[in-house]
Amino acid sequence: MSCPKVSLAPSCEIDLDEPGKQHGYIRIQFSADRSAYGWLPVPIMSIKNGDGPVAVIIGANHGDEYEGVSITSGLYQELEIGDVKGQIIFLPAANAPAFYAGRRTSPLDWTGEGNLNRMFPGNQYGPPTEMIAWYITTEIVPRGDVFFDLHSAGKSIDHHPSVKIRLMGDEDKDALQMKFLELFGAPIGIVGNRVHETTLSGEILPLDKIYLSTELGGAGKIRPWIRDFGYNGMKRCLREMGVFVGDEKLPEPEHKVSLKAMQTGENYIFARTSGMFEPRVNLGDEVQDGQFAGYIWNTKELWQKPTELFFDRGGIVFCKRNPALCEVGDTLFFTLNDYHS
């Protein structure tokens, strides 16, 4: 007599093939000291109505990036079935264990800090973060046509708000992506042609699907003006792809987008000594090659002159470290330069 094996792979409480408006959890099986037979809840929602394109909206790919959580959850609560033609799948807190803990990375993985966006395609029987990556890769990615991955910078970094695309070499799809940059309403639109391995973007683009990501501020907080243009921008993009068909009159994009190229190594300033970081420029400032950027103070010997920091390559100040204390290897700044097609 054979004895069947019972799967402990992630499962979903809702049926993504069913029409209507649904919500529930992806269940990540997790036998822990506090709960021997428990599972971890990862929120998932769906609005499906007839045939049409499928949009996937993702928040908290990193757990301390809150703007995307608010936008994704707010859209699900506002939109009704009749507003949708096709399907919108909502993952408002993709790295849910990290989000619940207020951390960029999950505190539950036995392999170390669980950075979801460095673990794709994942492992169905791995540590929790790998199980989440596996579920997204196998169950969500095949369904979607366009993916909106709403990042911000988390507690350690602040960003001048942006939306980013990766060119695919398909004339029609790239034209739609460029239209998304215009419609989203962010001050900066970043255009690139490369992706990183083990990221969600790296999983999606080889499948010839559109992937758009954002950096909606950061610093572990939600700014009303960023959340508002991001929320309106998502609606404008969903309407452009034909999945949002509500008759609501949407506001025009809040900012005229300035197109920038993806950063390279010379755009960065890294800490070369540990201490107290004192920036002397602000996000959004235009700086020149070689311009003074700030200081790092020796926290033990405060009678010493601080280490001076300079930009190798100027441009717009797009990224700035948020905490004052830093260690060797921390990113302190990086700049962006104009995009030329």
Averaged pLDDT for residues 328-335? 97
Average pLDDT over residues 131-145: 97
Share of the chain above pLDDT 90, in %: 89
Q: Where are the domains of the chain?
A: 11-261, 265-336
Q: pLDDT band at residue 1, thresholds of 50, 70 and 90?
A: low
112: pLDDT strictly greater than 90: no
pLDDT given at position 33: 84
Contact 234, 192 (CB under 8 A): no
What's the CATH class of domain 265-336? mainly beta
Task: Please report the beta strands in the chain, taking only residues with DSSP state E, as ranges in sequence order.
Answer: 11-12, 20-29, 39-49, 54-59, 86-91, 146-151, 157-159, 162-166, 188-192, 210-215, 258-261, 268-270, 275-279, 286-287, 292-297, 307-310, 315-321, 325-326, 331-336
Instruction: Give residue 114's pLDDT.
Output: 87
Which has the higher per-residue pLDDT, 114 or 259? Answer: 259
- Give the global pTM: 0.95
- Average pLDDT of the segment spanning 184-200: 92
Cα distances (angstroms) measured from residue 139 to each of 196, 206, 297, 321: 21, 17, 49, 35
Compute the average pLDDT of residues 134-162: 96
CATH topology of domain 11-261: Aminopeptidase (3.40.630)
Average pLDDT, the chain: 95
Q: What is the pLDDT of residue 77?
A: 98
- Quick: pLDDT tens for 223-264: 999 999 999 999 999 999 999 999 999 999 999 999 999 999
Give the pLDDT score at 8. Answer: 83
Mean pLDDT throughout 196-215?
Answer: 93
- Compute the average pLDDT of residues 308-323: 97
- Report residue 15 CA to chain centroid gap: 25
178, pLDDT greater than 70: yes
pLDDT at site 206: 87
Average pLDDT over residues 56-85: 97
Task: Please give the average per-residue pLDDT across 316-328, as a whole number.
Answer: 97
